[in-house]
Amino acid sequence: MNLENICEAVARLAKETGKEIKRYKKENGLKVEVKGRHDFVTQVDKYSEKLLVEGLSQILPEAGYIAEEGTRTDRGEHFNWVIDPIDGTTNFIHDVPPHAISIALMQDGKVVIGVIYEICGDELFYAYKDGGAYLNDEHIHVSPVADISQSLISTGFPYSNFDRLDDYMKLFNHFTKNSSGLRRHGSAATDLAYVAAGRFDAFFEYDLKPYDVAAGAIIVQEAGGRIADFKGKDDYIFGKEIIATNGLIYEDFLEATKKAFGNK
């Protein structure tokens, strides 16, 4: 298994699909369906996922799928593709950047490839296990900022699950007072890619799904960053909570997170 070659093929597919859905949206417009509370899907999300599943099934036929829109649901014995056909659908509907295609490959439960194509900026982020992280073929690295007071922090506001809103607001409050600023860009995959590229120093959000974070997680790690769940453990792909940092501010960031979320 040559991860580098597979990653290259996935990156090409993500970029082609990004260009194709831009064209498709222009020609066909959007048909928006409501999936859940404040949770939308368009026919373009479904079209994107169909193209991705077709392409990925040729790259690695034995792999199974965890795909947001459920185009395929069969699981592989060792390999699974984790696909978000458009991350940032609300932005996409409103013609607001960023929005991205996010694809990860998991091998025996561990992410080994991550590809994020941010469509508006034509930026292709990718990484494979032990191969480093890249943006449009240039190596990327997390930021050198060592102090939260000088950090730019990205987050996703709770929008449908408000169970932990009070704890979330405690952390929001803390970073509002103790960092250089907070941003809400509306695409968790892009948030993670930006941490990897050193644009944001850290990111946090709860209630994210595997397809929101799997690709971004390996890109951040291969760029030298450090990721965890809110307890400082490794359950950030399926555990619905993630902090991603440049590594240098990890301990302080985790301490603030634990304090706000009461280690629940």
Residues 6+ apart with CB under 8 A from 251: none
Shortest reach from residue 212's CB to ligand IPD, in Å: 5
Given the rule CB under 5 A, which of 13-21, 134-142, 211-219, 225-233 is the region that contacts Ca ion? 211-219
Shortest reach from residue 201's CB to ligand IPD, in Å: 18
List, edge to edge, every strand of the sheet that includes 226-228.
181-183, 152-155, 202-206, 241-245, 226-228
114 binds, among ligand IPD, Ca ion, none (CB under 5 to 8 A by kind): none
Binding site for ligand IPD (CB under 6 A): 84, 87-90, 156, 186-188, 205, 208, 212
For 34, other C-beta atoms within 10 Å of its C-beta total 9
User: Is residue 87 at the binding interface for Ca ion, with CB under 5 A as the rule?
Assistant: yes
Please select the residue that binds Ca ion; options are 49, 118, 205, 212, rule is CB under 5 A. Answer: 212
Shortest reach from residue 189's CB to ligand IPD, in Å: 6
Shortest reach from residue 149's CB to ligand IPD, in Å: 25
The 3-state DSSP class for residue 163 equals: coil
Residues 6+ apart with CB under 8 A from 230: 206, 241, 243, 257, 258, 261, 263
Kindly tell me which of 188 and 202 has the beta carbon lying closer to ligand IPD: 188
Query: Is the bond leading into 98 cis (omega within 30 degrees of zero)?
Result: yes
| Binding residues vs Ca ion (CB under 5 A) | 68, 84, 86-87, 212
